[in-house]
Amino acid sequence: MNIRDAKKEELPLIRAQRLASYEEHSDKIPADHWKALKKAISSEADQQQGVELIVAELGGEIAGSVALFPAKSDAYEGHLDELAHPEIRVLAVEKAFRGKGVGKALVLECIKRARAKGHVAIGLHTGSFMSDAMKLYEGLGFERQPEFDFEPAEDGIIVKAYQLKL
C-alpha cells in the first residue's frame, strides 16, 4: 500500500469515491440529514489552506482518502468552534478495497503527521450511525469527547467527537 498526498487532478475521483462511500449510509438517516451530509462531504472545505488530502493506493488504484485539517481551522464549516488540535475528516474507502486495512492506514498516517508537527492530540467526528467507523477509531485508542459533539441537521442524529492523545 502506498500512502501519499493527493494530486490536484485526483480531486474529482476522490470526491466521487467519498460520496459513494457515505451514500451507503443514506438509508439509515432521514432525507434531510443525508442532504446536509452530502453537502458537507461534497464541499470545497478540503481545499482550505493547510488541509492535507491524503490517498492510499493499492495496485496502482486509489483505494481511499482522508483529509487532515490543521488545528484552529474551520473543519466543520461553522458547526463547531475551531479546535486546538488537527482533525481527521471525510475518511472514505472504495468498496472493493474494504477489509484490507486501507482506512486504518490512512488514520495512522494522519496520526503520524500530527505527531511530526508536535501536536499533543488529534481529533475526529463521525455520525452516530457509522458503527464500523467508530469501531475503527476506538480500536486505535480514540476516546469519546462528548463536549465537542454536534447535531448538524437538528434531527436527533449526533456527530460524535473523538480524540487521541499523542
pLDDT, tens digit (0-9, with 9 covering 90-100), for 45-62: 899 999 999 999 999 999
Which pLDDT score, from 0 to 100, does residue 79 have? 60
Helix 102-116 and helix 131-139, axial crossing angle in degrees, nearest 10? 50
- In this prediction, residues 141-149 reach a mean pLDDT of 96
Instruction: Quote the pTM value.
Output: 0.94
pLDDT (average), residues 90-118: 97
- Residue 132 CA to residue 77 CA, distance in Å, equals 25
Question: CATH homologous superfamily of domain 2-165?
Answer: Gcn5-related N-acetyltransferase (GNAT) (3.40.630.30)
Evaluate whether 91 touches 107 at the Cβ level (below 8 Å).
Answer: yes
Reading phi first (left if > 0) and then psi (alpha if -120 to 50, else beta), residue 154 is in left
pLDDT tier at 83, thresholds 50, 70, 90: confident
Spatial CA neighbour of 89 closest among 151, 153, 45: 45
Average pLDDT of the chain, as a whole number: 93
Span 88-98, average pLDDT: 96
